[in-house]
Amino acid sequence: MRTTTLLLILALIIGCNSKKDQYVISGSFLDDQVKEWIYLIQLTPDGFKVDSAEVVIGKFEFNGSVDITELFYLSSNADATKDVFAFFLEPCELEIVIDPSNWFEGTTVSGGSVNDEFFNMEATLNKAFSDRSFEINEKYPSSNEENRDIKNRLIKNLIDSIATIRQEYVWSNPGSPITPVFLSNFYHTLTLEELGGILNKIPDNMQQASLYKRIATYYELSIGQMDSNYNKSTKGEVAKMNDLEIDSSIIQTLANRNPNKVLYIDMWATWCGPCRQEFPHSNRLHEVVDTSKIAFIYLCAASKEENWRKMIEDENLGGQHYFLDSDLERDLFKEIGGQRYYPRYLIVNKSGELENSSAPRPSSQETKTLLEKVSNS
């Protein structure tokens, strides 16, 4: 009898513990829609992990276990290129109602404390920004240049103030699942000493979050780059593209300047945070591929020339660097097709043909393999 009682108690304990990391997502759509499947996506350092659920009469469900609370995505497609809603997957019962006409702003989530805190905070900050920017626009109409200057300065100060609130949250709440999300928006603007200080405050369990790992990798690569013998003498040409003689196209011009080489082209802008976050990975990639076969090309556009030159120095970037004015930027996007966005990566084969117009980022493990495959073909 005693043995049976102990076994029952043990079973109850195991049963309770097994439920601590369980989640259930009960989802529905506000309006009728034709999607048959919906995808639950986790961002990982190596790419994505994707789960799927069938949509039946406008409803769907996901359930399983989650080790830590972190950012996940719901999307109408498995690669999350459109119709995306970001939320925190936490061990509880979540109810998500999707607005198919506006996944980003119209979707709601309830039932989890982390999601409640995050979305309430974002709603408060967004309302404060909206109210204050409305007051600024009313007080300083864009009828003259002086008003425009004042308005632009005040709006910038407002944006900086809201960014400061998120930064203060990071410092004050290192153990919160929200912290890696906020930190991902500004970590590339910090000194390595500041970034290291924040990362050291984040507890061990939160260091398993995918966003934390991505930021930590950036930090480690940046520190390693400082300690290595990699130096600015590895840079090739730094030039304004419109000062060069353009051949039949921009891609062909670059191919002609690098005969019989594969080109890995990094299209970036100085204001683009994700562009800058990839630079340490890009520098690392220089060291692990055969640069006698592969040329690294950086095309900067939609930026100020002085900022471009300064950032090349600040980031200690190797490779060949070209600055494109607005006309050449427009020509390039016509040439490669697709939407205008940054960062964007291209691979050009040894024959000067565009092999991949949407190549993986330097931080992806696919990139080295793909470049070596094209260079050896």
Same domain, 220 and 329: no
Grouped pLDDT means (10 residues each) for the chain, 377 residues? 47 46 94 81 82 93 94 89 91 95 91 96 94 91 83 90 94 95 89 90 90 89 64 62 85 92 95 90 90 94 91 86 92 88 94 92 91 92
Are 129 and 158 a contacting pair, CB within 8 Å?
Answer: yes
Q: How many CB atoms lie within 10 A of CB 334?
A: 10
Rg (CA), the chain: 25
Q: What is the pLDDT of residue 8?
A: 45
Task: Decide the pairing of beta strands 70-75 and 37-44.
Answer: antiparallel
CATH of residue 41's domain is 2.60.40
Do 150 and 220 lie in a common domain? yes
Q: Are residues 183 and 258 in the same domain?
A: no
The domain of 85 spans: 21-111
CA–CA gap between residue 285 and residue 265 (Å, rounded)? 13
Domain co-membership, 324 together with 192: no
Is 6 part of a structural domain of the chain? Answer: no
Residue after which a domain boundary falls, among 175, 209, 227: 227
Q: What is the pLDDT of residue 235?
A: 52
Boundary-marking domain end, from 111, 145, 165: 111
- Is residue 59 domain-shared with residue 176, that is, in the same domain? no
pTM comes to 0.69
108's tokens: 């709601």
Residue where one domain finishes, among candidates 227, 242, 271: 227
- Are 233 and 313 within 8 A, CB to CB? no
Q: Return the pLDDT at 173.
A: 96
Nearest CA among 186, 177, 168 for reference residue 206 = 177
- The verdict on residue 250 lying in a domain is yes
What pLDDT score was predicted for residue 228?
54
Strands 294-300 and 262-268: parallel
pLDDT of residue 189: 84
Judge whether 366 lies within some domain.
yes
Q: Is position 98 within any domain?
A: yes
243 and 366 share a domain?
A: yes
Q: Would you say how long the chain is, in residues?
A: 377
Residue 270 maps to which CATH number? 3.40.30.10
Residue 66's nearest CA partner among 41, 91, 39, 47 is 91
Q: Tell me: do 221 and 237 sit in the same domain.
A: no
With respect to residue 100, please indicate whether it lies within any of the assigned structural domains.
Answer: yes
Asked if residue 349 and residue 255 are part of one domain, the reply reads yes
Pair 173, 203 in one domain: yes
**pLDDT value at residue 227:** 55
Residue 283 inside a domain? The answer is yes
Domain annotation covers residue 126: no
**Closest by alpha carbon to 96, among 24, 27, 22, 23?**
27
Same-domain check for residues 221 and 247: no
295 within a domain of the structure (yes/no): yes
Number of domains in the chain: 3
d(C-alpha 107, C-alpha 119), whole Å: 11
Residues 157 and 278 in one domain: no
Give me the pLDDT at residue 222, please. Answer: 80
Query: In this structure, are 315 and 184 located in the same domain?
Result: no
